[in-house]
Amino acid sequence: MGPLIPQGIIGAEWSHVIAILLGMAFGFVLESSGFSSTRKLAGVFYGYDFVVLKVFFTAAITAMIGLIYFNYLGWIDINLIFVNPTFLYSSIFGGIIMGFGFIMGGYCPGTSFCGVAIGKIDAIVFTGGLFIGILIFSESYPLINVFYNEGDLGVIKIYDTLGVSLPVFIFGVIISALVIFYAVGIIEKRVKKVEY
Amino acid sequence: MNIRYIILAAILVISGIGLFFIPITESSNEIEPDQLMAELFDQTRYVSTDEIAERIINQDPSLLLIDVRMADYYSEFSLPGAANIPLEEILNPDWIGYFEQDHMDLVFYSTGDIFAEQAWMLASRMGYKHLYIMKGGLNRWFETIIKPVKPEVTASQLEFELYAFRKGANQYFTGGGLADSDDSVLEPVKVNRKKKNAVVEGGC
């Protein structure tokens, strides 16, 4: 049956409408879970709040398990799902920039817009910086495009690279997630609470 | 520890174990044999030498001819405006600019049909669109455009019209007149501008 748009069950014109609806729902859930607070997001780095880590790990696991079972039940064709190609060097470099921005500003791009939506001044400044960054990137693209496009590994999957089968990999991720959740729970108890 | 967390963790572990027991269709980029069969028998990928001649004369901007013969053959003779991508080099990323576009019809040709067919197969396997083959290749080009044969007297009007077009095309491509002085009446060259094959995408 799915994916609905590539299969033509929903017209491609609807993709933006669906994206807006999903985006609004995502933003609503982020905001109501307290993700528009920089202190909560930065808590991962200081060890007093690991909700961000738990949420995104859980999302990854749920999506993984869901996709495999949906594929098995014939609700979605896993081969039609778009997989981002891997560009090794730009991924590493971009990850470092993103990490610095995250710890300095206390937002990731998605949550910064949640902050803007509820009128936080720091979030507005953060998104301003984001647009300046986009401008600098776009204008300097001719200078950096060689590096940007280097290390193109194509569409690769981590379980192929590691040489393990898909179920083994997913099971490994589930177990490590549970262990990490338990461990960060202990850390949270030891670290002094921060009120925010 | 909260009982809810234990239940949720158990659900995750159980569904993770369940993955070992269900078959997973690994992603493969292989084209299915029946689809390949259908594509092989699809005749729409062929264009005739006459159509190519007409489009060259009309300077159709959506036509991109690709000569898949070796470079030295290409330098000896090629169709006007054709690019040379030898078959062995077709996977070379240098040529990607020719393939990755969707507003031109790429027409492969070689001496006969075989190399052009192979090039078509490789390019369509790489996922490129608007690929065509000049049916019969340069051999057919010579038979039809460079040395057209006058049809029998009993031939249909259509064949005479085609012959007239070919003679006109011959003059265009060779620069000289076709030596058949016995043909007293010089019929006008009828060149119909055909509609472009490229489908208009999007828009209203």
pLDDT in tens, A109-167: 889 999 999 999 999 999 999 999 999 999 999 998 888 888 888 888 888 889 888 88
Please check the confidence at residue B204 and state whether its pLDDT lies above 60.
no
Residue scoring higher pLDDT (B29 or B150): B150
What is d(CA B101, CA B84) in angstroms, rounded to the nearest whole number? 17
Rounded Cα gap, residues B170 and B141, in angstroms? 10
Do A52 and A108 form a contact (C-beta atoms < 8 A)?
no
Residue among B12, B13, B25 whose CB faces A71 most closely: B25
Q: Which residues of A have a CB under 8 Å from any CB of B?
A: 61, 65, 68-69, 71-72, 78-79, 166-167, 170-171, 174-175, 177-178, 181
pLDDT at B30: 64
Residue B93 DSSP class: G
Instruction: Looking at mean pLDDT, say which of A7-11, A175-179, B170-174, B180-184 comes out highest.
Output: A175-179
CA-closest candidate to residue B89, choices B128, B129, B118, B124: B118
CA–CA gap between residue A47 and residue A111 (Å, rounded): 19
At residue B62, does pLDDT exceed 70? Answer: yes
Nearest CA in chain B to A60: B12
Do residue A79 and residue B22 have CB atoms under 8 angstroms apart? no
The predicted structure's pLDDT at residue A194: 76
Say if the Cβ atoms of A174 and B13 lie within 8 Å.
yes
pLDDT tens across B106-152, in order? 899 999 888 888 888 888 878 788 889 998 889 998 888 888 888 88
Residue range A73-118, pLDDT digits in tens: 888 888 778 888 889 899 999 999 998 988 888 888 889 999 999 9
State the best of B13, B14, B15, B17 to mutate against chain A, taking most chain A CBs within 10 Å.
B15
C-beta of residue B60 within 8 angstroms of C-beta of residue B107:
no
> Would you say residue A177 has pLDDT above 90?
yes
pTM over the 0.90 mark: no
